[in-house]
Amino acid sequence: MQIVIFDHEQQVADTAAQWIETLVNNKKSPILGLATGSTPIKLYQQLIRRYQEKKLTFKSTTSFNLDEYLGIDATNSQSYRHFMNENLFNHIDIDNTHTYLPTCAQGQNPREQGLAYEEKIKQLGGIDLQILGIGANGHIGFNEPTSSLASRTRIKTLSQQTLADNSRLFNNNEFQPTLAMTMGIATILDARYVLLMATGENKAKAVKDMITGPLSAICPASALQMHENAIILLDKTAASQLPDQEYYQWANAQNIKINQAFGLYHNY
Ligand code: PGA
């Protein structure tokens, strides 16, 4: 794991945007894994700005989102399709038919839908860079605690903590879905790079468990310990429970020197 701690959350977003810019500018048909939630909003704003400044184009990019609610359709303003359109896709030049979310409409077989999503990712060559947030309970995507570390795209029942955490986004009397279709943990681990962003004090315990805790289904994000190219971008509040912070800062300074000497290495 490469752990980078910043003073401000804007630096987390800017660094993540730089990773995406490097991918999009260096690969002919880049495949991005995208996330919803509060954390990536600043990243998406930064990508829109860089697109407007003509630093990058998404014309040949394909994207796969981590998850989507069940029981509401794409036109619902609470759907993750709506979130992605509003916060990113409508403001850049990505081909909307090349943006995928794992969906399962009423009457569709969730097993077939999950399998089809996995197949589509594989058929297009696999995800180059997967963007992730982390739940206060350690979830990635909607892989809630006790999710199989070998899981693939499927339906998950949201935990009480996730429902409570996300209830802030729903009005009184508005339907809050309790089920979602989500990439599995094994799906996420298949990405060539994973980049997890966490900001804010309420993520500090999950971040500590992810990085220093045992590899355990109780903290699904701890599965990233098994990934060859996991980059963890934190602001200092999200990093506040981490031991050895000076070591991470020092190790990053060494990485910067190596990159300056030998060039940035991306195995996309
Ligand atoms: P948040 O959600 O970015 O809204 O905190 C992250 C997550 O639940 O994965």
pLDDT tier for residue 58 given thresholds of 50, 70 and 90? very high
Q: Which of 68, 128, 139, 235 is catalytic?
A: 139
| Residue 167, ligand 1, Cβ within 6 A | no
User: What atom of ligand 1 comes closest to residue 132's alpha carbon?
Assistant: 9
What is the pLDDT, as a whole number, of residue 129? Answer: 97
- Structure token pair of residue 124: 């297009």
| Residue 138, ligand 1, Cβ within 6 A | no
Alpha-carbon torsion angle 194, 36, 13, 95, nearest 10: 80
Active site residue 137: yes
pLDDT tier for residue 266 given thresholds of 50, 70 and 90? low
Q: Which of 68, 118, 128, 144 is catalytic?
A: 144
Active site residue 67: yes
pLDDT tens figures, 174-197: 999 999 999 999 999 999 999 999
Ligand 1: distance of its center to the CA of 142 in Å? 10
Ligand 1: distance of its center to the CA of 77 in Å? 17
| Residue 204, ligand 1, Cβ within 6 A | no
Atom 8 (ligand 1) nearest CA: 135
What is the residue-averaged pLDDT of the chain?
A: 96
pLDDT tens figures, 114-141: 999 999 999 999 999 999 999 999 999 9
| Residue 38, ligand 1, Cβ within 6 A | yes
Best mutation site among 34, 36, 38, 39 for ligand 1, i.e. most ligand atoms within 8 A of its Cβ? 39
pTM confidence score = 0.96
Q: Which of 128, 137, 143, 209 is catalytic?
A: 137
- Structure token pair of residue 59: 């014309």
User: What atom of ligand 1 comes closest to residue 36's alpha carbon?
Assistant: 3
What is the pLDDT, as a whole number, of residue 256? Answer: 85
Is the Cα dihedral 74, 78, 81, 87 positive or negative? positive
Active site residue 112: no
| Residue 134, ligand 1, Cβ within 6 A | yes
Mean pLDDT of 152-181: 95
User: What atom of ligand 1 comes closest to residue 140's alpha carbon?
Assistant: 9
Instruction: Give how far Cα 262 sits from Cα of 2, 21, 23, 25, 128, Å.
Output: 18, 20, 18, 19, 22
What is the pLDDT, as a whole number, of residue 165? Answer: 92
What is the pLDDT, as a whole number, of residue 139? Answer: 98
pLDDT at 263 over 80: no
What is the pLDDT, as a whole number, of residue 260? Answer: 84
